[in-house]
Homo-oligomer: A and B are copies of this chain.
Amino acid sequence: MQMNDYIELIDHKLDEFIPIEYPQTIFNSMKYTVTLPGKRLRPILCLETCRMLGGEVNDAIPTACAIEMLHAQTLIHDDLPCMDNDDYRRGKLTNHKIFGEAIAVLAGDALLTWAPQVIVKHSKNLEPSILIRILNEYFKFAGANGVIAGQVVDIESENNQDIEDKEKTLEYLHLHKTSDLFQLAMRSGAIIAGASDEKIEAVTEFAKTFGLAFQVADDILDEISTFEQMGKTLGKDKLEGKLTYVSLYGLEEAKCKLSCLFEKCHGIMEKQNLKSEIIVDMIKKIKKRAGI
C-alpha cells in the first residue's frame, strides 16, 4: 500500500468507528477532532510495523485507529484555555472553540475509553491474551507514566529557571510527550504481528528515536514556519518561555540533531532488515519541511 491508500483506509475506518449516537453533542465533538485531516503518522506506523513483521494489516486496523483517537484526545485537552490555550489546530478552530470547554473536556475523556472499546470490539482475530497485551500498552503509554508524564513536565518547565539539568528534562519531556505514542503504535503493530521480543525491542528503539526527531522538527517548524503552512498558531513556544531544542541549542544545532536522529533510525532499520518505503518517505518529508 502507498501512503495515500493508508490515509484513505484510516480516514474511512475512523469515520466508521465513531457513529453519531445519543447524546449527539459528545459524538460530534469526539468525531470533529478525530476526523480533522492529518498525516496519520501514528496509525500508519502501527500498520506498517505489523506488515513489515509479517502480520495481517487488517488485524491492526482497530488498534491503529484507537491510537489516532488517543492522539486526538491529547490535542483536545492540550488546546484547552487552561493548558496551551490554542484557537486553531490543523487549520480549523479547536474543539473547545466549537463545542465549548465543558464538552471538549468530556470529549477528551470519552475518547480515552472509546479507543480501547474499538480495539476490543473490532479485533475479532486477536486472542484475549493478545488483546490484554495491547490494552496494557495503550494504558501505559496513554497514562501517568506515558504521554501525561511528558505534558506535566512540559507545564512545569515553562518559564522555570530552576531546572537543574535542562538537557535531561528536555529529553524526558520529548520522549514522553511525543515518542510514547509512536512507541505505542509500533509496539502494538509488532505484537499483533506476533513478533519476537528482539524485534519488539528494535521497533521500540526506532520509535523512541523517530519520536525525538519528530519533536525536534516540530520545534524547528515552530521557529521557521507560518500559520498557513502549519495550521496552528506558531512562535508560542518562545513567547511562553518553553523549553525546546531550538531554545536550548539554537536553530543550526537542532537541525544537526535532527539529521543525526534520522540517521540512527535508518541504522536500526538496516540492522534489523526492516524494509519500508513508506517510513523512508515519511522521514524524507519531515527533513524537507524542516529545511534539511
Chain A residues within 8 Å of B, Cβ to Cβ: 21-23, 25-27, 30, 73, 77, 80, 82-83, 100-103, 105-106, 108-110, 112-114, 116-117, 120, 127-129, 131-132, 135-136, 138-140, 142-145, 148-149, 151-153, 155-156
Contact = CB atoms under 8 A, between A and B. Distances in A.
A141 B140 CA distance: 21
Main secondary structure of the interface of A (DSSP, over half): helix
Contact of A136 (B73, B108, B120): B120
A152 B112 contact: no
Contacts of A136: 117, 120
Given A25-B156, A26-B152, A112-B113, A105 B105 contact: yes
B77 A148 contact: no
A102 B83 contact: yes
A136 B118 CA distance: 10
B102 A26 contact: no
Contacts of A83: 102, 105
A173 B136 CA distance: 32
B80 A143 contact: no
Contacts of A105: 77, 80, 82-83, 105
A199 to B, nearest CB: 23
Given A127-B128, A128-B132, 7 more contacts: A25-B152, A30-B144, A80-B105, A83-B102, A110-B144, A110-B148, A113-B144
